[in-house]
Amino acid sequence: MKALRSTFRRLMRNKFFAVGLVFFLVVFVVAIFADHLAPMSYRDMDVPNALQPPSREMPFGTDQFGRCVLSRVIYGSRIALWVGAVIVIIQTTIGIFMGLVAGFQGGYLDSIISYLTDVTWSMPVIVFALAIVMVLGPSLNNVIIAIAVVSWAQLARVVRSKTQSAKNKPYTEAARALGMSNTRLVLRHIFPNILSPIIVLTTLALPQAILATTALSFLGLGSQPPAPDWGVILNEGIDFIEFAPWISIFPGLAIVWTVLGFNLLGVGLRDILDPTLMD
Amino acid sequence: MLEYLVRRIAWAVVTVITVSIVLFAILYAMPGDPIRMIIDPRMPPEMLEELKVRWGLDQPPHIQYFMWASRVLRGDFGTSIASRQPVILLIATRFPYTMALTLTALVVRYLVGVGVGLIVAVKRGGWLDSALVVSTVTLRSIPNFWLGIMLMLFFGVRLGWLPISGYDSPISLVLPVSSLALPWLADTMRLTRTEALEVMREDYVTTAHAKGVPHTRVLLKHVLRNALIPVTVMFFLSLPWLIGGSVVIESVFAWPGMGRLLWRSILAQDVPVVQGIVLIISVLTVVCNTLGDVVCAFLDPTIRAEYE
């Protein structure tokens, strides 16, 4: 507990982490209290008031159906955080499992997993995600699956190499000589060694996941209207770019704010926990 | 060197084959009978069976894969379901536009990124490092399609300086190229600067200075050459990323390239076109990765030495 508090204090002295944390907390609070913060419903249409510029009642203006853009952007934060979290959980689980098995077991399992990792690594992520979404059909859940299954390779690689080096350390050998079971060995001696890179890479993967899903939603392959997904709002807004640019400006700013927050957190964590990790 | 080259190329071939199998499997799993999308639904069932046999659709999946792969190797990617044109023809007319877009973005990124990176490497200062880190993180957090929309809004709609969609003349390149190149610009600057600073601390640079070699010559001959190794590798590794990014950017700017064709074909569930384009992009990716490694080995004497 004490160690945790001192790490946190060290983290807060890192400007990137501190600023990133503020950015993240803002999005988090907005997502939690969306029902209280949003001035209007995100889906009730009011066609006579369509395409109104920002005003006192509608700070972000209204869209082509007269819906409040501010409320839609506020509710969109829920989708973005949810999607980011789910993708990262799936891809981290696959990555840790693959990396641990390959690094700890070695042998033919290692060869097979390394081969799979290298091949996945050399596939263009967004292009393969597009092909998978075509097969599964356009929906937010399918986009989550598609992106998660093509983006675990980096973590698997790092976990594998860290596991290998921890496995050959004297303390691991000693524990094994004392008759410690494999499960306990992994939990007690291997896992603490791979925890830092996992935290850093996961934090940096989250913004990537949000960028990729909003891109696919923007292309009409992810969330479907009337969902207040930021990508969907941008997709609808581009048709009105000439006379209602506010529909396109605000959801984009929301994406930048969220993604920047996580990127700053990730950079701060990397500086403190594992400076050797490259981008 | 030769051994390294052969191993690298063999690995590239294996990867391409694996990726093509994965791609074939993904699209094979697609629900629905592919033949029903092409033919007249009123066709009698006997004729349908006959067609299936003629096209090999009654064969087990691995045989179908080999049939597909051997056709692809002969340059036959099948016929588009939506437009009834040969896929290879559709891709061939759009490929140059995608290449023009991505290669220009790459060149802009490197000329500006490496140039500015080297200039600021000569100047030291902690504030410069922080500024570069902050701009790297910020630029990377901007979705390229939204950047495109904002550039379109400002320079196209408001100021009316630049065309916002399609391709009329090379000036149409400006906005899509900027949307692709800008997010990675600060990144390239930072990498170049870090590498150059690292090389400047090497012993051989001190030696060259001590021998009385003029400062500019040291910079050009020793520092530049060595600092450019990782930058060159990144040049090759980033081409596939740019091609991936161009799918979205081409859709924003109605650019007549391969990425936009891929997007429209996915919406139309035009499997042969999607298969062809994804395969071509995958091959390009593997070729670029391999080139990156080989060029790195060629430029870096320590890697070369391992195989000699």
Chain B contact for A211 (CB, 8 A cutoff):
yes
Which pLDDT score is estimated for A123? 80
Most distant CA pair in chain B, distance: 88
Give how far A181 is from chain B: nearest CA, Å.
Answer: 37
Tokens 């140039």 belong to residue: B115
Q: Which residues in chain A (89-118) have CB-CB distances under 8 A to chain B? A: 115, 118
Give how far B16 is from chain A: nearest CA, Å.
Answer: 9
> What single-letter amino acid sits at B154?
F
Q: What is the pLDDT of residues A245-275, one digit of tens each?
A: 999 999 999 999 999 999 999 999 988 887 7
Percentage of chain A beyond pLDDT 70 is 99
CA distance A80 to A89: 14
Of B31, B137, B247, the CB nearest to A260: B137
**Confidence band, pLDDT 50/70/90 cuts, at residue B122:** confident
Which pLDDT score is estimated for A144? 95
CB contact under 8 A, A135 and B26: yes
Helix axes B87-122 and B258-267, enclosed angle (nearest 10): 130
Residue at A116 is within a domain? yes
| Residue B107 parent element (H or E) | helix B87-122
Instruction: Give B265-305 as a DSSP string.
Output: HHHTT-HHHHHHHHHHHHHHHHHHHHHHHHHHHHH-HHHHH
CA distance A9 to A3: 10
Residue A165 has pLDDT above 90, yes or no: no
> Are residues A193 and A178 in contact, defined by beta-carbon separation less than 8 angstroms?
no
- The residue among B128 and A265 whose pLDDT is bigger is A265
**What is the average per-residue pLDDT within B220-229?**
79
Which pLDDT score is estimated for B120? 81
Most distant CA pair in chain A, distance: 78
Domain with A220, as residue range(s), is 66-277
End-to-end CA separation in angstroms for chain B: 7
**Confidence band, pLDDT 50/70/90 cuts, at residue B165:** confident
CB contact under 8 A, A126 and B247: yes
CB contact under 8 A, B137 and A264: yes
Give how far B305 is from chain A: nearest CA, Å.
Answer: 24
Q: What is the pLDDT of residues A2-18, one digit of tens each?
A: 777 887 888 888 889 99
Q: What is the pLDDT of residues B58-81, one digit of tens each?
A: 788 888 898 888 888 998 888 888
> Are residues B152 and B253 in contact, defined by beta-carbon separation less than 8 angstroms?
yes
Size of interface A-B (CB pairs under 8 A): 121
Give how far B46 is from chain A: nearest CA, Å.
Answer: 28
Residue A225 has pLDDT above 80, yes or no: yes
Residue at A205 is within a domain? yes
**Count of domains observed in chain A:** 1
Residues of chain B with CATH 1.10.3720.10: 99-256
> Which of A191-195, B16-20, B87-91, B231-235 bottoms out in mean pLDDT, i.e. has the lowest?
B231-235
Residue A236 has pLDDT above 60, yes or no: yes
Which two tokens mark A80?
């973005």
Which pLDDT score is estimated for B39? 66
The CATH number assigned to the domain holding A122 equals 1.10.3720.10
CB contact under 8 A, B252 and A238: yes
Q: What is the pLDDT of residues B169-218, one digit of tens each?
A: 888 899 999 999 998 888 888 888 888 888 888 888 888 888 888 888 88
Smallest CA-to-CA distance from B225 within B203, B209, B205 is with B205
**Confidence band, pLDDT 50/70/90 cuts, at residue A278:** low
Letter string b/e over residues A215-252, b meaning 16 or more CB atoms within 10 A of that residue's CB: bbbbbbbbbeeebbbbbbbbbbbbebbeebbbbbbbbb
Q: What is the pLDDT of residues A34-48, one digit of tens each?
A: 999 888 888 888 888
Task: Please tell me what DSSP assigns to residue B167.
Answer: -
Residue at A26 is within a domain? no
CB contact under 8 A, A128 and B278: yes
Average pLDDT value over all residues in chain B? 85
Give how far B53 is from chain A: nearest CA, Å.
Answer: 24
**Confidence band, pLDDT 50/70/90 cuts, at residue B38:** low
Which pLDDT score is estimated for B90? 94
Percentage of chain B beyond pLDDT 90 is 30
HEC string of chain A equals CHHHHHHHHHHHHCHHHHHHHHHHHHHHHHHHCHHHHCCCCCCCCCHHHCCCCCCCCCCCCECCCCCEHHHHHHHHHHHHHHHHHHHHHHHHHHHHHHHHHHHHHCHHHHHHHHHHHHHHHCCCHHHHHHHHHHHHCCCHHHHHHHHHHHCCHHHHHHHHHHHHHHHCCHHHHHHHHCCCCHHHHHHHHHHHHHHHHHHHHHHHHHHHHHHHHHHHHHCCCCCCCCCCCHHHHHHHHHHHCCCCCHHHHHHHHHHHHHHHHHHHHHHHHHHHHCCCCCC
Contact residues for B263 (Cβ-Cβ < 8 A; gap 6+)? A130, A219, B247, B250, B251
**What is the average per-residue pLDDT within A218-229?**
92
Q: Class of the B99-256 domain?
A: mainly alpha
Residue at A110 is within a domain? yes
Q: What is the pLDDT of residues B237-296, one digit of tens each?
A: 888 888 888 899 999 999 999 999 999 999 988 888 999 999 999 999 899 988 888 887
Vertex B46, ends B44 and B47: CA angle to 5°? Answer: 70
Residues of B in contact with A119 (CB under 8 A): 15, 18-19, 22
CB contact under 8 A, B30 and A135: yes
Q: What is the pLDDT of residues B188-199, one digit of tens each?
A: 888 888 888 888
CA distance A98 to A95: 5
Which residues partner with B79 through β-bridges? B86
CB contact under 8 A, A131 and B266: yes
A105 sits in the region (left: phi over 0; alpha: psi -120 to 50; else beta) called alpha
Q: What are phi and psi of B73, to 5 degrees?
A: -65, -30
Contact residues for B185 (Cβ-Cβ < 8 A; gap 6+)? B109, B112, B113, B139
Residue B147 has pLDDT above 70, yes or no: yes
**Confidence band, pLDDT 50/70/90 cuts, at residue A110:** very high
Residue A172 has pLDDT above 80, yes or no: yes
Residue A192 has pLDDT above 70, yes or no: yes
**What is the average per-residue pLDDT within B42-62?**
76
Whether omega for the bond prior to residue A226 falls within 30 degrees of 0, making it cis, is yes
CB contact under 8 A, A234 and B281: no
**What is the average per-residue pLDDT within A74-82?**
96
Which residue in chain B is spatially nearest to A257 when comparing CA positions? B141
Q: What is the pLDDT of residues A119-157, one digit of tens each?
A: 888 787 888 899 899 989 899 999 999 999 999 999 999
Which two tokens mark B180?
């692709």
Residues of A in contact with B283 (CB under 8 A): none
